[in-house]
Structure 1
Amino acid sequence: MMNLPQTIPVLLLGTSLAVLSPQVCPAFTVQEVASLAQASNNLPVVKSAGLSPDMDVPWSKPVRIVDPFEGELLGVFDRNLLGGNLYRGGSKQVISLWTPSSIRVLVTVNSDRASSSFFYTAGRVYPRPDFLQFVTTRKVDKLLLKVRGKVFQLDGSTGTFAVSQELATALKNAPDENLDIRLVLEGGQTVDSKIGKETVKSWRNIY
């Protein structure tokens, strides 16, 4: 006798279809599936999963991303400024996107260069410093997260890191507090940063 395949519950997110494997996900009732789909439809919509230094998105909140290349997915964007002021020379910005399948991280470094010019008023010439802003990005090779005393070390390429089932469970159950992360940049330099507790709370809607 032929064994019939096990029924696999599915979750509709807008126009996309996510198949949930019974080995890693609990079975959903029809009411639960409808509730999850409705919740995702009520989230703010972001039209790109790409990261950039000057992006404008809802930070630390669950969002529905509708990307022209990657389709539709749920995610949380986080940003942390290191140095107190994004426009101060040497300051860093750590931007991340947390989705069910991956974590993406972008590190930017701000530098400024002063150039002198002059302006003329009331018969006198005055010097005027002009500051030009330059923002460069750094490649992230490793991501380390510490959740409830356990350190997860992730290796990736182009700043993208896969999320395992174990890590997803840890993130979902993380305590309501800032979470420490360490980024290892190309060349070995490390950048220590934090994920804000509002982002940590939002993980419960993602994982």
Structure 2
Amino acid sequence: MMNLPQTISVLLLGTSLAVLSPQVCPAFTVQEVASLAKASSDLPLVKSAGLSPDMDVPWSKAVRIVDPFEGEFLGVFDRNSLGGYLLREGSTQVISLWTPSSIRVLVTVNSGEAMSPFYTAGRVYPRPDPLRFVATKKVDKLLLKVREKVFQLDGSTGTFAISQELATALKNAPDENLDIRLVLEGGQAVDSEIGKGTVKAWRNIY
């Protein structure tokens, strides 16, 4: 984290870091904003906001994302496997990224696996690691139930904008799993949930 001059403050706005003069933003003192900036610098660092089936990130924890195309922002990654063991044929995985401005969702279905043989000394040996065949599904709608209120979000390419009302609801969500429904292209619905750990982590970014 860079050393900040006394006359400059760093404020997290949406999906980027903005540099503001304290005269322009009187609601934040230099000490408060510096404390916020330090807290974000102490979070685990993730170098890409891209979602993929085999990604390796801290799950259900607030992280600082520094993406080469999108800049720096805070987020929480969540993962849920449906239908049993992840490598089982027909199992579904729901990966999501929750940021102050948007929710991104990736739904993949495992359509099977096969052993990949290799040849050596004239003999064929099976590889110890199977090859997975994964299909990605397009998500058109996202429904979330927070307490008794249902939020329905429409998006494109699996990205859904977060309103101020929804951000407030997520920040104040009860300390329990949260139900979501994903409506795929063609109308198929996938019911999943967000784990309690992710719900707790939302309080750090909303």
Category of TM-score, reference length = shorter chain: 0.7 to 0.9
What is the CA–CA distance in structure 2 between the aligned matches of 1:99 and 1:27, rounded to whole Å? 23
Q: How many residues are matched?
A: 180
Aligned residue number for residue 59 of structure 2: 59
TM-score w.r.t. the length of structure 2 is 0.81
SS of match in other structure, 2:140: strand
Residue aligned with 1:77, SS: strand
**Distance (Å, rounded) in 2 between the aligned partners of 1:26 and 1:141:** 41
1:31, CA displacement in angstroms? 1.6
Q: How does 1:43-192 map to 2 (within 5 A)?
A: 43-112=43-112, 132-192=131-191
Alpha carbons 1:112, 1:131 under 8 Å: kept: no
Q: 1:19 to 1:153 in 2, by over 3 A?
A: farther
Query: Which residue of structure 1 aligns with residue 6 of structure 2?
Result: none
Verify the 8 A CA contact 2:81 2:93 in the aligned structure 1: yes
Q: Deviations over 1:86-144 (max 9, x none)?
A: 100100000000000000000000011568x9xxxxxxxxxxxx975211100000000
- Higher-Rg member (1/2): 1
- Residue in 2 that maps onto 1:32: 32
Q: CA RMSD in A?
A: 2.3
CA 26–166 in structure 1, closer or farther in 2 if over 3 Å, else same? farther
Q: Where does the alignment leave 5 or more consecutive residues of structure 1 unmatched?
A: 1-8, 118-129
| % identical aligned pairs | 86
Gaps of 5+ in 2: 1-8, 118-128
Q: Map Cα deviations across residues 54-103 of structure 1 (whole Å, 9 max, x no partner).
A: 00000000000000000000000000000121100100000000000000
CA distance, structure 2, for counterparts of residue 102 and residue 132 of structure 1: 33
Aligned twin of 1:5: none
Task: Give the structure-1-normalised TM-score.
Answer: 0.81
Q: 1:132 to 1:142 in 2, by over 3 A?
A: same
Mark the CA change 1:17 to 1:133 in structure 2 (over 3 Å): closer, same or farther: closer
The Cα of 1:27 is off from its aligned counterpart by: 2.2
C-alpha distance in 1 between matches for 2:27 and 2:51: 34
Is the contact between residue 103 and residue 161 of structure 1 (CA under 8 Å) also seen in structure 2?
A: yes
1:41 aligns with 41
Letter in 2 for 1:80: N
Deviation of the 1:29 alpha carbon: 2.0
Q: Which aligned pairs between 1:6-17 and structure 2 lie closer than 5 A?
A: 10-11=10-11, 17=17
Does the 8 Å CA contact 2:17/2:73 hold for their aligned counterparts?
Answer: no
User: Partner amino acid for 2:137?
Assistant: R
Alignment partner of 2:165: what SS? helix
* Contact 2:17-2:72 within 8 A present in 1 as well: no
